[in-house]
Amino acid sequence: MGQILGLGITHYPGLSVQGNITRRIKLCLADPALPERLRSIDNWPEAMRRQWGADEGQAHSDEHRQAMIDGFRRARRALDEFQPDFCIIWGDDQYENYREDCVPAFSILAYDAAEVQPWLHNQRGVNSWNEPKDKVLTIQGHRMGGKHLASALLNEGFDIAYAYKPLHIGLGHAFVNSVLYLDWDRSGFPYPVVPFTVNSYGRHLVGTQGVPPTPSKGRSIEGDEDPPGPQPWRCFQIGAATARAFARSPWKVAFIASSSWSHSFLTAKHGRMYPDIESDKRYFEALRAGDWETWRNTTLEEAEDRGHHELLNWFCLAGAMAELKRKPDEAVFLESWISNSDKVFAVFRP
């Protein structure tokens, strides 16, 4: 009989480098396509003004960064206590491994291992650990576990794609950052990983080439969107099937959903400047209560309106935890109006 640990984390890129993580606000302010009303700080929501403060968000940046690090240390403790045979990570591929030549709605990367150089093309700034530019990170895979999952899903009627080797890059940001952050204290990450990609960016994948849309860029791709990503309710179903696949396996498996919640740059109704915090709070309360109906019935149009594109990764976890009749043992909501997104950490113990 298999055992399953559920974890929810973020792979927020801003955490990987030093400095003020609220820099995007200034980019928005300098963008001629930003709605005029948002140019004046007086028109911002009150909580957003407070976080921006008199120091251009520096205090919020410091506090939010530390809260994320604390979240990762708690998640790592839960993993170490559980000692999984491997981890399934639900993450988005942001025009990294999947580009014009093939875009699966979902895929399972049943690699033996992946080698990545996280800082080689880093232009964001000095990385948070002062690691050398040529650092090589080898992330162990679990081919057997990946094959088992693909087989189980196909046998249930989910037409899942799978791969034994990468198409374009070693591994995308969602998976690499998850591992980098779960090993915040650099003791090593001993658990193999089976990446489970979700086409979270859907209509905004190829058109943006994975670059977060600014107000101007967001306007320029309107009308020329790509086909959509998978429906949130389908993510929920595939997560539930993943739980069934491993509940009857011989393994101890950690299920990890990796993403920040509503993204500013995907929330068109807020000028792509701040996220849909109200919706995030509603989904967080539902998650905390184990009220899975709120999650189960969401449509893609609703998710896109809320900037919940990457939350599709969490819909998979929600489906799995609903299937296992779990509520989180720990759940933390980190509200952030000015760092692009709210972050949530959750632990669902067996």
Q: Nearer to Fe ion by C-beta: 137 or 174?
A: 174
CA distance 129 to 122: 13
Residue 151 has φ and ψ, to the nearest 5°, of -65, -45
Q: Nearer to Fe ion by C-beta: 174 or 287?
A: 174
Q: What is the DSSP string of 175-212?
A: HHHHHHHHTTT-S---S-EEEEEE-TTGGGSTTTTTPP
Choices 32-40, 89-97, 142-150, 269-277 (CB under 5 A): range interacting with Fe ion: 89-97
Shortest Cβ 155–Fe ion spacing (Å): 30
**Beta carbons of 11 and 198 less than 8 angstroms apart:** no
Q: Nearer to Fe ion by C-beta: 199 or 249?
A: 199
Shortest Cβ 90–Fe ion spacing (Å): 11
Shortest Cβ 57–Fe ion spacing (Å): 21
The type of residue at 137 is L
CA distance 194 to 167: 16
Choices 88-96, 106-114, 152-160, 334-342 (CB under 5 A): range interacting with Fe ion: 88-96
Shortest Cβ 331–Fe ion spacing (Å): 21
User: Hey, which residues between 92 and 121 contact Fe ion (CB under 5 A)?
Assistant: 92
CA distance 245 to 187: 31
Shortest Cβ 283–Fe ion spacing (Å): 17
Separation in Å, CA 199 to CA 93, 120, 208: 6, 25, 14
Q: Nearer to Fe ion by C-beta: 92 or 276?
A: 92
Question: What string marks each residue from 136 to 175 as x (binds Fe ion by CB under 5 A) or -?
Answer: --------------------------------------x-
- In terms of Cα–Cα distance, which of 270, 285, 287, 259 is closest to 348? 287
The count of residues interacting with Fe ion (CB under 5 A) is 2
Shortest Cβ 47–Fe ion spacing (Å): 24
Choices 84-92, 103-111, 153-161, 323-331 (CB under 5 A): range interacting with Fe ion: 84-92
Q: Is 309 helix (H, G, I), strand (E, B) or coil?
A: coil
User: Hey, which residues between 174 and 213 contact Fe ion (CB under 5 A)?
Assistant: 174
CA distance 230 to 116: 28
CA distance 225 to 350: 41
In the block, tokens 């849909």 appear at 276
In the block, tokens 């990294």 appear at 96
Choices 14-22, 45-53, 87-95, 146-154 (CB under 5 A): range interacting with Fe ion: 87-95
Shortest Cβ 101–Fe ion spacing (Å): 21
Strand partners for 261:
none
Choices 51-59, 90-98, 262-270, 312-320 (CB under 5 A): range interacting with Fe ion: 90-98
Walk across the sheet containing 106-109 and list its strands: 161-163, 106-109, 193-198, 86-92, 252-258, 3-9, 343-348, 330-334
Shortest Cβ 162–Fe ion spacing (Å): 21
Residues at the site binding Fe ion, with contacts judged by CB under 5 A = 92, 174
